[in-house]
Chains A and B, each alone.
Chain A
Amino acid sequence: MLEVSALAAARGDRVLFASLDFSVPAGGLLQVTGRNGTGKTTLLRVLARLARPEAGVARWKGTLVDELGDEYFADLCYLGHAPAIKDDLTARENLAISAGIAGVTVDAAAIDAALAEVGLIGREMLPGRVLSQGQRRRVALAQLYLGSRKLWLLDEPLAALDTEAADAFIARLGQHLHGGGVAVVATHHAIEPAAPATLHQLRLGSAR
């Protein structure tokens, strides 16, 4: 599903990684690890087309990502370090807006169901500014459960989550993979879902 060949990226003068090759099949999970500053975030941003690679290409379903354009974005859900939560909007509004921005059509019931899944029901009317870091992260994760986007690119999704929420997320990740989805996750936590199709490991910075 997702194939990467000869990918290289740099930050300023420093080469983060070069000639990176991997492919993740449908139902595959790629866990990206590596010390700080080895380019985990940059790799995810390059895959999300937010950052430009120095060299190399990525293919999604056999087609160059650059040629797919909006079709690729429609399949993609990227969660970065910042959870994109507005302080002045309620959890519910934040989630509805995240979905709208991603072009996913949802109704109120679906929003509430997703919020229930991340354990925020009863808090859905609280404004973003009173939510804790973990709760903000939960709202951000909830948008993964809306729509049916095939490719998840997640940068430290478990940051600030408690054990219970982390386990729930890993279970949900397993469902996503069973349904033929693909995920690239940068994290040091053990995220092996119950019965993974394939778990690939990529350790950045070890080549040097």
Chain B
Amino acid sequence: MGSDTIFPLSAWEPPVNLNWCLTPITVLRRDLLLTLRRPAELMTTLFFFIIVVSLFPLGIGPQPELLREIAPGVLWVAALLASLLALPRLFAADHADGTLEQLALAPQPLSLIVFAKLVAHWLTTGLPLTLLAPLIALQFDLPASTIWVLVVSLALGTPILGAIGAVGAALTLGLRGGGVLTAVLVLPLYIPALIFGAGAVEATLGGLDAEGHLSLLAALTVFTLTFAPWAAAAAVRISLD
């Protein structure tokens, strides 16, 4: 099977003084391994991103100037929707098979475990979206300098989408109509990330400096990653009760 090479058991033993991070590291590696074993879910998210972006020229018309103008917003909104669709992957399966209970019972802070899950989630959602975006941006005839800003803005912004989304996903665990409900809870909170992210690309497109936007976006990323895991952990406990 070769699973020992992917997930070597001998490498499980962490340094003694790092014992507190055994659970988060286990969770991070497990989530990555699960995505690796079933890559279709990741691919579906990416194709969704591509399809949504491709719909806009068909709906609006193929004029290059118009497409270039709407590209930052379209790419960002599509990335936002793709992240939204990926949110159930965070907790739903673990909730259904009982793993989430075991995570809540781990002798480490649940917020730290949620943070580990967010890192794994970003590596399998936000990062692929970020890397795919330049390719899609070519459809919209974006200049190279703008594409670079687009990549940076998505790299900074997608962690926010995952972290805020985690709170919504955790609150709606096991509820009827969970997916749509998550969208209603989470989308209004995505607005600042959208404004700064798409704004950075637009500013570059208009010949302005994107640094202000990107700094604000980075500040928002740090802020969100500090507090959202904590709120999401509280939400997980509420949903398990």
Contact = CB atoms under 8 A, between A and B. Distances in A.
Any A–B CB pair closer than 8 Å: yes
Interface of A: 48-52, 70-71, 73-74, 76, 78, 80-86, 88-90, 92-93, 96-98, 100-103, 105-108, 111, 125
Contact of A100 (B3, B10, B12, B241): B12
A12 B33 CA distance: 39
Listed residue (A89, A103, A125) with the most chain B CB atoms within 10 angstroms of its CB? A103
Interface stretch (B95-103, B137-145, B192-200): B95-103
Contacts of A81: 98
B240 interface: yes
Contacts of B38: 88
Contacts of B25: 100
Contacts of A106: 12
Contact of A102 (B33, B97, B102, B109): B102
A85 B22 CA distance: 19
Nearest to A100: B26
A52 B101 contact: no
B33 A89 contact: yes
Contact of A82 (B7, B19, B96): B96
Main secondary structure on B side of the interface with A: helix
18 contacts: A48-B101, A71-B107, A81-B98, A84-B99, A84-B101, A86-B34, A86-B97, A88-B34, A88-B38, A89-B34, A89-B37, A98-B102, A100-B12, A100-B27, A102-B105, A105-B14, A106-B12, A108-B12
A78 B240 CA distance: 14
Contacts of B96: 82
Q: Which 5 A-B pairs have the closest CB atoms?
A: A82-B98, A100-B26, A108-B9, A74-B107, A88-B37
A181 B11 CA distance: 30
B30 A97 contact: yes
Contacts of A48: 101, 105
A139 to B, nearest CB: 12
A81 to B, nearest CB: 7
Contacts of B107: 70-71, 73-74, 102-103
B1 interface: yes
Contacts, number: 103
A178 to B, nearest CB: 25
Interface string B154-167: 00000000000000
Listed residue (B98, B102, B109) with the most chain A CB atoms within 10 angstroms of its CB? B102
Interface in B13-30: 13-14, 19, 22-23, 25-27, 30
Given A71-B107, A86-B34, A88-B38, A107 B102 contact: no
B interface bracket (residues with beta carbon within 8 Å of A): 20 to 34
Contacts of A96: 7, 9, 12
Nearest to A112: B9
A52 B241 contact: yes
B3 A101 contact: no
B13 A107 contact: yes
Contact of B101 (A50, A71, A74, A108): A50
A107 B10 contact: yes
B240 A101 contact: no
Contact of A107 (B9, B98, B241): B9
B106 interface: yes
Contacts of B30: 86, 89, 97, 100
Contacts of A92: 3, 9
B105 A78 contact: yes
Nearest to B100: A84
A71 B7 CA distance: 29
Listed residue (B9, B23, B99, B105) with the most chain A CB atoms within 10 angstroms of its CB? B105
